[in-house]
Amino acid sequence: MAKFYAYLSFENAKESMDYYKDVFGATLLQRMPMDENMAKEWGLPTDNLENTTIHGGFVVLGNTIFCSDRTRDGEPFSSSVTVMLDFNSEDTEDVAALDSLYKKVTESGVEIIDPLKEQFWGGKMGIIKDKYGLVWMFHAQPYSKLQ
């Protein structure tokens, strides 16, 4: 069965992965540096290859996110994508995980777009923008009401 993953591009994915480890508690970080042949083929510098990332990944709350360095000239970065971390508001452990992660992330100095608060649909939601301009939605909803 096919799966859906977010794949993010950064100026420096290695640095970004360290940020998500420190701020979001990301785990299972994997990173593959670009090799010299690939760099030459793409017309990229071959110095400092150990700090490049052709493919990487990390896990936040059991969800895998993949990433790499932006490698193409003029490749646009879009912050129009929002990453949503969704929690079951009927599960006390899920709610505690949401509250704990949201507190840790917001204390790191991110931009709070909308503070975490109760919503009219019976859940709660908060939205932040991280230091890379990526928008994260922290969301909880009653899973028993989902179809």
Q: What does the domain layout of the chain look like in residue ranges?
A: 6-69, 82-145
DSSP secondary structure code for residue 35 in this structure: P
Phi, psi angles (nearest 5°) of residue 89: -70, -10
Same fold: 6-69 with 82-145: yes
Rounded to whole angstroms, the Cα distance separating 99 from 87 reads 10
How do residues 73-118 score in pLDDT, each as one tens digit?
655 555 567 899 999 999 999 999 999 999 999 999 999 999 999 9
How do residues 9-39 score in pLDDT, each as one tens digit?
898 999 999 999 999 999 988 999 999 998 8
CATH code assigned to 6-69: 3.10.180.10
Per-residue tokens: 114: 């909308």
CATH code assigned to 82-145: 3.10.180.10
Consecutive H or E run containing 102: helix 92-106
Which amino acid is residue 100, in one-letter code?
A: S
Rg over CA atoms, the chain? 17
